[in-house]
Structure 1
Amino acid sequence: MEKLKLVYVCSLRNAAADMAGRMVEYKGGTRYMESPLEHLVKQLNKSELGDKYELQAVIFDDDLTHTLDREKLKGYGTSRIGCYGEWIYPQTLKVGNRDVDELLCCIPSSYRKLSRGSQAWREGKLNFEQRLEKKLDELGADVVLLDGLIVILDQLASEDSAYAKRIVNIHPGITREGSLYQRRGATATLDALYGAQGKQVTNWKTMDMIDTDVVDKTGASLHYIDQGIDSGPVIHDVLNTPITPTDTIFELRWNNFQQSLFPAMTQGLYELAQIDRFETEKM
């Protein structure tokens, strides 16, 4: 059966914040921080996942004319050329016979430089989504996997979009509604860290906190996107990451990738492929 065409969409600045592709401090030693992209490629190469999907492109939205992006990508940049050290994945990384570097494509979300909520910002955001959709159309994308894309999609996430139920997000937290362990949004890992200390941050600017019950476990979810924040229907989640109050952000991030996020991503993609086949056969 023909493979599904998979397109991976991310923000490199998020991978850089994770120190992807480099060694991080871990419990008095160091460990290699493998990115979800690198793990996905390895699974496509060596597991049955590669029988179901073919990676078409790796799209990122970073814009080095944006001061904040330039600062967050300091030492990484948007390619390994001129990078100060290792990049977000090894230079030797291939998917099948193709270098992953060959799949890279930048569609900058330049509107983020503009005043948020202004007319120019709204028009720029719409233009970004239109350019992204055009590229997905060119690639013939069957499934679009978002990982750490630090923008909210509106047009592409609508029920009327041609990509409705075709765009999924891998999130480092449980997103299921009503779960004791729910951690949505950009602060999911920090929320989990503070939760293990019996704390909840109510204002990230002032760092005001309240006492809460201790929640010493977290996980990850693969879910469809909608127009909310990590609120789309869950395809597969894994709750398998214990937290100790002394964990650092990198220690918890490493643990959660290995114990919950990687399994949620790969198993969720397996299940998504079955759903896609079923829907195709019904048509």
Structure 2
Amino acid sequence: MGKLKLVYVCSLRNAAADMAGRRIAYKHETRYMTSPLEHLVTQLNSSDLGELYELTGVIFDDDLTHSLDSQKLQDYGTSRVACNGAWIYPETLKVGNKLVDELLCCVPSSYRKLPKASQAWREGKLDFEQRLESKLDELDADVVLLDGLIVILDQLASDDSAYAQRIVNIHPGITKEASVYQRRGATATLDALYGAQGKKVINWQTMEMVNVDVLDKTGASLHYVDQGIDSGPVIYDVLNTQILPEDTIFELRWNNFQQSLFPAMIQGLHALAKAKIGAEEVR
């Protein structure tokens, strides 16, 4: 069996929120915020992961005609040409002999501009997933890796989809149902940060909190994508990030990427390739 064709799917607005590709304040110094994409490419180039996978595309779903996307990406844009400063990864970043810039493709989730749950919104969401599926077909994707894609895939994650059990997500939190450290959803890092202070936010609009037992660790999970929120079966997880009560969101994000998320992503992709190659050999 040859290399598995890997397609990476993300929301650039999420990478921009992380200050990906730039230096962040960290205690009394600054540190470079490596994006999961940059780390993945580095590993494909320098480790045996590159013997298992070929990165064939990098898809993002942002739509600059959407005012919220435009606001969140005002310093980054959707390419380094329009960027005010460093972009989400270095200009010279290559996977093999190809610049990562050459792999970029936009499949905008424009339906998000429409009234949520309206008929037009539902039709727009279905159209987005169909366009995304067509692009994945064009790239002949064996494995689809989601990282910070801020949409839920209903059709593509269904059991009867051609991409069932082929779409995985790297999440900055433990997603196991039974784990006391479980942190699902978009607020996973903030939940962990408050948890280390013995607090839990029960209303994000009013910031109403309750006291809870202190949990001063967090981690990351590579899991299959289903139609829920970070609820698919776990492929690999790492719980290795210690949290200090005084950590900022960026300090915790940096620590969790380095100590848990990057290892979970790389080891999880190894485990996934082993399972897929094993399944092919059985056939």
Aligned to 2:56: 56
How far has the Cα of 1:278 moved from its partner? Answer: 1.4
The residue correspondences of 1:234-249 to structure 2 (distance < 5 A) are 234-249=234-249
Letter in 2 for 1:168: V
* Distance in 2 (alpha carbons) for counterparts of 1:39 and 1:226: 25
Aligned to 1:121: 121
Aligned to 1:135: 135
Deviations 1:197-229 (A, max 9, x none): 000000000000000000000000000000000
The residue correspondences of 1:255-266 to structure 2 (distance < 5 A) are 255-266=255-266
State the SS of the aligned residue for 1:123: helix
* Distance in 2 (alpha carbons) for counterparts of 1:165 and 1:257: 25
The residue correspondences of 1:202-241 to structure 2 (distance < 5 A) are 202-241=202-241
The residue correspondences of 1:175-194 to structure 2 (distance < 5 A) are 175-194=175-194
Letter in 1 for 2:114: L
State the SS of the aligned residue for 2:220: strand
* Distance in 1 (alpha carbons) for counterparts of 2:75 and 2:160: 40
Letter in 2 for 1:124: G
Aligned to 2:279: 279
State the SS of the aligned residue for 1:132: helix
The residue correspondences of 1:153-172 to structure 2 (distance < 5 A) are 153-172=153-172
Deviations 1:92-129 (A, max 9, x none): 10000000000000000000000000000000000000
Q: Which stretches of structure 1, 4 residues or longer, exceed 6 Å deviation after superposition?
A: none
State the SS of the aligned residue for 2:56: strand
State the SS of the aligned residue for 2:5: strand
Indicate the RMSD between aligned Cα atoms, in angstroms: 0.5
How far has the Cα of 1:281 moved from its partner? Answer: 1.9
Deviations 1:150-202 (A, max 9, x none): 00000000000010000000000000111010000000000000000000000
Aligned residues: 283
Percent of aligned positions with the same letter in both sequences? 78
Deviations 1:41-77 (A, max 9, x none): 0000000000000000000000000000000001100
* Distance in 1 (alpha carbons) for counterparts of 2:195 and 2:238: 18
> Which runs of no fewer than 5 residues in structure 2 stay unpaired?
none
TM-score scaled by length of structure 2: 0.99
Aligned to 1:173: 173
State the SS of the aligned residue for 2:62: coil
> Which runs of no fewer than 5 residues in structure 1 stay unpaired?
none
How far has the Cα of 1:82 moved from its partner? Answer: 2.2
How far has the Cα of 1:27 moved from its partner? Answer: 0.5
